[in-house]
Structure formats: C-alpha cells, structure tokens
A and B are shown apart, each in its own frame.
Chain A
C-alpha cells in the first residue's frame, strides 16, 4: 500500500502540475497550519497516515540521492494537499490574515523535533532525513548570503520556501498527537503570506 502511494506521488508529478524545485516548497507551511485541530482545511487522519508512511518509505530507500529524495518528499506533500487545493476553504485561507509563512527557522526547536522523530525512525531513515534537512538549509544559506533579489518580498518568498519544506518534512514524521499540537510558530519566526507574495 505504501509503495503504491509513493508510486502515485511520483506518477502525479510526472504527469503535470507545478514543477517542483528540490528543497523548496512554500505549501509545506500550509501543511503545518492544516495539521492543527482548529485547521481551516481539515485533513482526514488517514491521509496524514498515508503521507507519513510514504515519507518513511522514501527516507528508508537508501538508493536515492538527497536531491531525488527531496523532490519525492515534495511530491508526497503536494499529494497530501491535492484534494483540497481548489477548495474555497483553502483559497480563503491563502487570501486571509491567518495564512503565514516561516521566515526563519528556530534551530533549537528543529533539533528538538528531529530528536523526537528519531525515536520512531530507523537509523538509516534518520540519517537520510538529516541529510535532506541539512541540504535544504545549506542551499538556503548559500542563496541568502550570495544573492541579490529584486525585492524584499522575493527574498522572503525564497527563504520561506526552504523553511516550509523543512517544517513539513519533519512534521510528516511526528506522531499524530504531537503533529496536531504544533503551530508554525513552533518551527520559527513567521510572517503573513502576503509579505511573501502569496495571496488567494
């Protein structure tokens, strides 16, 4: 079942949709927001479970390089959101004041959450997870240090895309009760989506 879900994610990505860029997924922040019990877009538990299983299977596949792994995780995240993507509730969320993006990760919080994940993940999968997270943070840091953006908004969106991918990837692997207790602010600093150029 898990393999089929992963395969489905890969097929979905191959057949269309927005092209993913490794380590970047601004919609990862929506996943974190929708995991809370008071979520404006409730996601059924079985879909969360399928996403979690898919992420675990991907991380446990030692044959993948870190970039391919990141792309597959982004596909799995897109797959989780896909049924609600066009819903009015989602569009309202994107256009409203409650939509927020992660502008800066809290390193200590990330370490704590990774520590919690490690309790239920095999050593090999945990190593893969750390590699993906480190690669995302490294690429973001390199970009932020060496680039000039057209606007502050463009910079905010670029950095948030990496942060949101990291947050959603870690979130996928936490136990359901922990997942539901988290907000974006537990991962770091946030800003309204409109500051990152995201609107409905």
Chain B
C-alpha cells in the first residue's frame, strides 16, 4: 500500500468512524467546525491570569469603579431527552430569584428574557469540549455579548456544570455561557434519580456564574500563591466534599480555615453561604471590563476605552 492508497483508505476509515459516531452513543466526537473549537482559545494560564491582574491594576490606577446596577438578561436553553430534563417554569423562576439574592451586592440583576425548549438526546448528554458542545452552542446561543446564555442538560463526565470566563468572550463569543445539570435547579417536584443528591438547591448556577463573572475556585493552585487571586479567601489544598466546616486548614501556614462555605468551593449546596468582599469586587471589575456591553453606560465609557487601549 503506497501513501496515496493509505490516505484514501484512511479517509474511508475516518468516514466509517464518523458515520458510526453519528449514532447518539458515538456522536460526541463526530467532526465539528474547527474554527469554533475551544482549542483555538488562547491558553488561560498563566497569561490570562496576568492579563486579568493587569486589568484590575489598571482599573484601580484610573480609579475606575463599576457602581450601580447592571441588568443581565438571561436566555435559557432547556435541552431535554423526550421530556427528561424539561424544567418547569417554576424552577427557572426560583433559580433566578436565588441568583438575584446572592449577586445583589455586586450590582448584577438577572432577568429572564427568553426560555426555549429543545429535544436533542445528543446535546442533552454532551461531554465538555466535544463537538456536540460546539454544535449546541452555535445553534442555540444568542447575543452573547449582551446576554447570559444558560444551557441546561445532563452533561457527561460527572459534571454538574461548567462555564466560560469573561476574557474568553472576545475570541470565542459563540461558546460563551453557562452549562448546568438540570437536577441542580432548586425546588424540583421529583427527587433526582441519584440519591443522595446534595446539589439541588441551585448553588451550581451560583458557582458557575461566578466563573462567568471571572472567579476561580477557592482551591485554585492549591496552597501555592497566588491561589485564586483573591486575598481574602483562604488557601485550600483541594476541593471540599460535603461540608467539613470544623476541619483545620489544609495548607501549611494558613491560619484561616478552609473556605468550604464559599460559593466557589465544591461543598454541598446546603453548605455554600457566601462570597468574600474581594470576590464581589472582582465580579464587578471583570463584568464591568470584559462584559461591558451588558451595561449601556459602561459600554459608552471613554475612561474604560482609555484603559482598554493602555492594556491591549
């Protein structure tokens, strides 16, 4: 077999592979538009961290503060598999109410502007980073610079949810948004099939929107500085499980206890109770800078434009 024959045969074999994977069981890795694939995203570390820190430093140097209210319009995309995961309106309202309670100190106000229901068994069980994620978001996502797109489904790989960071928006607007497990919404009329299930109070949305607003996990980088880039969250060696509030710090030299009640840890929903003041400030800064089109006033700010020019 010469190289030409090999390539021809390989193409046929690839076609066979792709065809086999069009079956929902195999569809996760069918080819996707390369342009939109997240691999095209610039590496998030360490350059993104440095960039985010430069943004914060520049905002402080210019005495730029994002005060006042910013309305965040939400477009919900409820993906279901023959009715499974079809969230009722009541649960969506309860979830948004919870978000507004938690995020009030940041000035963010969430408002549902659209809810669409999509029957698609492949998207319902998509895996993070797979072509089906790209297809789903490309088909459903709308106006990502001015809205928060929330996709509910049953993501694979043991995920409750995942999000995009605000500094990814410029390069990958199509992928922007938050993906949530449908069983993470509060006040479900029926218990989730996996028991115990300590993730049904709506805190996954709070956590993932924290990422969407530029927050890292409290255990980011473990015990090594700068951790999660937030000075008033304690260093934490790894994610918490359950609600271990009385444990000593997991990091040597850390006098504060593990931040297990912080929304950006992995504790059970019932354990999650707060953001720190500096996390709230970072949310204001990151949303104000990277998601400036959410707020018409910020979008017109010449001062912000100057800061942007000085950084980028």
Contacts and interface: CB of A to CB of B under 8 A. Distances in A.
Contacts of A157: 158
A139 B157 contact: no
A11 B13 contact: yes
Which interface class (under 10, 10 to 19, 20 to 34, 35 or more) fits B? Answer: 35 or more
A14 interface: yes
B37 interface: yes
Contacts, number: 131
B277 interface: no
B199 A150 contact: yes
Instruction: Name the prevailing secondary structure of the A interface residues.
Output: helix
A138 B34 CA distance: 16
Interface stretch (B25-33, B74-82, B85-93, B249-257): B25-33
A152 B163 contact: no
A10 interface: yes
Q: Which of B38, B128, B165, B207 has the most CB of A within 10 A?
A: B128
Contacts of A149: 158-160, 239, 266
Contact of B158 (A7, A14, A71, A154): A154
B3 A139 contact: no
Contact of B241 (A71, A142, A151): A151
Interface stretch (A29-37, A61-69, A175-183): A61-69
Interface in A149-178: 149-155, 157-158
Given A14-B16, A155-B158, A7 B38 contact: no
Nearest to A1: B1
Interface in A1-53: 3-4, 6-7, 10-11, 13-16, 19-23
B7 A68 contact: no
B161 A147 contact: yes
Given A11-B13, A21-B127, A145-B44, A138 B39 contact: yes
Given A7-B10, A145-B211, A150 B29 contact: no
Interface residues of A, number: 42
A112 interface: no
Given A3-B6, A22-B129, A155-B158, A148 B39 contact: no
A20 B29 contact: yes
B111 interface: no
B41 interface: yes
A154 B29 contact: no
26 contacts: A3-B1, A3-B6, A6-B10, A10-B13, A11-B16, A15-B16, A15-B20, A19-B25, A21-B29, A21-B129, A63-B7, A65-B34, A71-B29, A139-B129, A141-B44, A141-B45, A145-B45, A145-B220, A146-B162, A147-B159, A148-B161, A148-B207, A148-B266, A152-B266, A154-B158, A154-B159
Interface of A: 3-4, 6-7, 10-11, 13-16, 19-23, 61, 63, 65-68, 71, 134-135, 138-139, 141-143, 145-155, 157-158
Given A139-B128, A155-B158, 14 more contacts: A10-B16, A10-B17, A11-B16, A14-B19, A67-B39, A68-B14, A135-B39, A141-B45, A146-B163, A148-B159, A148-B204, A151-B158, A155-B239, A158-B158
